[in-house]
Structure 1
Amino acid sequence: MSQYTRLEAREWARENLHGLANVVIPSFSQDLTKLNEKGIRHDVRRCMELGFTGTLLVAETATTLEEYNQFTKWAVDEAKGKLTIIHHAAFNTLEENIQAVQAAEEAGAALVLLSYPANFYPKDSQEIYQYTKAFAESTNLGIVLFPVPLWGFERLHPAAIDPKIIRQLLDDVPNIVAIKAEGGMPLIAGFTECYQLFNDEVIVTTPLEKDAFALGNLVPIQWMGTSNYEMYGDVLPKLFNLMKEGRVEEVYEQYWKLQPARSTIGKFMASSDGAGLVNRMLWKYASWLTGFNGGPLRQPTMKVNSTHMTAIRQALIKSGIEVSNDDDCQFFLGRYQD
């Protein structure tokens, strides 16, 4: 059950959301017929070992509602209250998303990242408001609002979600606790506008480390998430602490060391922008290099090939990240097989 009520959600978030929230992509058995409990529990432990304060349980990997609920239960049990478990509201319809979030709340998830279904094609911004409000009213959990080009809302407003609609939602929906502000990407105005307008009421953040660690030297950033920060091992949690301590020169020194990996992986991600999807296989491979389980993903999935793998491995090494020496073929098996 939720640790707070809808009316207490923003206060809870201010007190409890700090540091970085990465992602855990579910692990599957080799025949892909079921979840891999050992691999999932290993990944949750690895998040804590690396210094993350929360993790998103990725839903865009062809899991059923029942499987995703089991995924949540294992993650909550393994975290034992030491990690904020974040539900990914990324299922097919509003009805499915309501069913999934209510199960996640019961299982012990503490927060929700709100996505919008691929078939959701609002005729105006009020339909975005209505969908978001209906979802929020179905749960006590705090919600991270997520303006980002992935939803295709730019035909309604260049910032993905019109700031006037965000204003209306914050006034009417008390359990919106944070804004993951990527509207208008690659411009940073989506973040800066939300920060200036709304940060006194809810936590406004950018998950893009390329922006956050520069902006965070200018304005306070309480919490960052969610993204595949684990590809850098424990570097970003440590860098976040340096930023909070105001050690600006050290932040920039480490920031620039990461440029080989940042630019290489960014290039591969940009090549898939037109699909409106995140290449979770690529993310999973990069995390495997830094000690996560790895293993196969179900169809449909974007692919990671030998060109990707060689380039990512070498870029991480060049950035000073310690990576596995295992042959890339081992990634498709995973560290814990089921």
Structure 2
Amino acid sequence: MTAASLAGLAAPGLSQATGRLVPRVDSPQRIWAKAHLHGLMNLFLPTFREDGRTLDEDAIRHDVRHAIAQGFSGTLPMINWTLPGDPRWGEFHRILIDESRGALPIHGIIASDKVESDLTLLSALEDIGVELVLLASTYPADSSETQLHDLMARRITATELPIMLYAATGRRAFPTLGPAGQPLDVYDRIADLDNVVAVKISQPVSLTSTVQLCQRLGDRLSMGPVNLDFLPLLARHFGIGWSGQWNAEAVQTPDQQIGNRLLGASATGDVAQVDELARQIQPALSHFFAVQAPVIRAGGHPWQHNRYYQWLSGANGGLLPRDPHAPEGAIPVLDAQARAAMRAAYRASGLELTDAPEEQFVVGRAAWARGVRASDLADLPYYSKN
């Protein structure tokens, strides 16, 4: 990004005090967003008992308390293993909402390619009590701007819940509708709907596209890039105060909340503090993104790596079952070399690690306390002891 390209960042919505772009706050949903979208938000992974199917309520409640201790301002339940229609979907969400007691806003997600399916799920999310919905639906690749706008608007206007848009790559990008597949004109129109409050910008989205999104939408919506590497630049021009719905345990612990502090400094425009914290977080952040980005591009998530990061910081841990929706070969195996590299990255950022035995990670803290050991598990997916 050159000085010349940054010179045109001024736009309606500039703060008179700081000269940085800040979202307009007017609707009740945007007032809610201003109060609740700050710092890091994580992805919440389910935990299952030894049969690999029954939800482990004790473990899930432990992880809710851990997310609150991390200072996270929200969490998105990951439902690859408990899809809507499965009774465990409702059970999973109810446990989270009950244990959080309002201290951790629970988000929902709609992600199908069918309007009616998403509307049915929106109604279920309203009934169960989520506080925000991520609009991650997929649309025909040949959609025109009008068609894409209308498909998005039908979902958004069907609820009063705050809606977070999802700027992404791959099957959620539209190469013919905007630079790098980001349909900026469509987002610009959608951003005027009262309950559209924010944009999650996925990690693989480029810096150039991230700046374009912030320029176009930052006067109305709260912008949240996943890629914290961009903050030293973005903090100088935009009011970036949150980043979320990813494996945020990879970069901080409850006692050392580097990520939250980094985003707090960015939100207030304290660029000296941003630069200092960016240097500290860099080893952990770079290692996490190096693991995560290629798997995201392949259509999956590095599930056991994500889980191991959580356990290192004090969460329950425990192996996840095989992901039935991931492309074949997309999810890497968590082996001893990978675990050692993750620990080294943590230490390089000054983060303290759990001192629990590695076998506890395999079964999870709650199951370990019940006397379960790795030999009691029939399957160890995406995991190697060596």
Instruction: Establish whether TM, by shorter chain, passes 0.5.
Output: yes
1:308 pairs with 328, 338, 353, which one? 338
Task: Single out whichever of 265-274 and 92-101 deviates more from structure 2.
Answer: 92-101
Please give the residue correspondences for 1:168-317 in structure 2 after superposition, counting only pairs within 5 Å.
168-171=189-192, 173-182=193-202, 185-212=204-231, 214-231=233-250, 232-233=252-253, 234-244=257-267, 246-300=269-323, 302-306=331-335, 307-317=337-347
- Return the letter of the residue paired with 1:237: N
Cross-structure match for 1:33: 53
2:126 is the alignment partner of 1:105: yes
Task: Single out whichever of 128-137 and 19-28 deviates more from structure 2.
Answer: 128-137
Cross-structure match for 1:322: 352
Question: Which residues of structure 1 form unaligned runs of 5+?
Answer: 1-6
Aligned 8 A contact 2:166 2:199 in 1: yes
- Return the letter of the residue paired with 1:67: R
CA distance in 2, matches of 1:257, 1:222: 18
Aligned 8 A contact 1:264 1:315 in 2: yes
Give the RMSD, CA atoms, in angstroms.
2.6
- Return the letter of the residue paired with 1:130: D
Question: Which residues of structure 2 form unaligned runs of 5+?
Answer: 1-26, 371-386
Please give the residue correspondences for 1:82-97 in structure 2 after superposition, counting only pairs within 5 Å.
82-90=103-111, 93-97=114-118
Task: Single out whichever of 234-243 and 35-44 deviates more from structure 2.
Answer: 234-243
Cross-structure match for 1:17: 37
Shift of 1:312: 1.0
What is the CA deviation profile of residues 243-302 of structure 1, one whole-angstrom value per residue up to 9, with x for unaligned ones? 445543343223212222222222222332442223233212211111111222222262
User: In 2 relative to 1, CA 299–90 (structure 1 residues): closer, same or farther, beyond 3 Å?
Assistant: farther
Query: Hey, which bits of structure 1, 4+ residues long, moved more than 6 A?
Result: none
What is the CA deviation profile of residues 301-335 of structure 1, one whole-angstrom value per residue up to 9, with x for unaligned ones? 62432132221122112221111223333222111
Shift of 1:92: 6.9
Cross-structure match for 1:3: none
Between the two structures, name the one with larger relative contact order (CA 8 Å, sep ≥ 6): 1
CA distance in 2, matches of 1:222, 1:152: 24
Cross-structure match for 1:4: none
CA distance in 1, matches of 2:362, 2:83: 18
Cross-structure match for 1:145: 165
CA distance in 2, matches of 1:155, 1:242: 34
Cross-structure match for 2:7: none
Please give the residue correspondences for 1:4-83 in structure 2 after superposition, counting only pairs within 5 Å.
8-65=28-85, 66-83=87-104
Q: How many residues align?
A: 329
Shift of 1:239: 2.9
User: In 2 relative to 1, CA 244–194 (structure 1 residues): closer, same or farther, beyond 3 Å?
Assistant: closer
CA distance in 2, matches of 1:238, 1:68: 33
2:334 is the alignment partner of 1:336: no
Cross-structure match for 2:11: none
TM-score (norm 1): 0.87
What is the CA deviation profile of residues 196-222 of structure 1, one whole-angstrom value per residue up to 9, with x for unaligned ones? 222221212212222235422443223
CA distance in 2, matches of 1:253, 1:165: 37
What is the CA deviation profile of residues 74-129 of structure 1, one whole-angstrom value per residue up to 9, with x for unaligned ones? 11111111122111223574433333332222222100112124xx5332244432
Aligned 8 A contact 1:151 1:160 in 2: no
Aligned 8 A contact 1:179 1:203 in 2: yes
TM-score (norm 2): 0.77
- Return the letter of the residue paired with 1:8: P
User: In 2 relative to 1, CA 31–97 (structure 1 residues): closer, same or farther, beyond 3 Å?
Assistant: farther
Q: Which has the larger radius of gyration?
A: 2
User: In 2 relative to 1, CA 78–104 (structure 1 residues): closer, same or farther, beyond 3 Å?
Assistant: same
CA distance in 2, matches of 1:98, 1:139: 9
CA distance in 1, matches of 2:53, 2:105: 28
CA distance in 1, matches of 2:103, 2:89: 20
SS in 1 for 2:164: strand
User: In 2 relative to 1, CA 91–164 (structure 1 residues): closer, same or farther, beyond 3 Å?
Assistant: closer
User: In 2 relative to 1, CA 198–274 (structure 1 residues): closer, same or farther, beyond 3 Å?
Assistant: closer
Aligned 8 A contact 1:28 1:36 in 2: yes
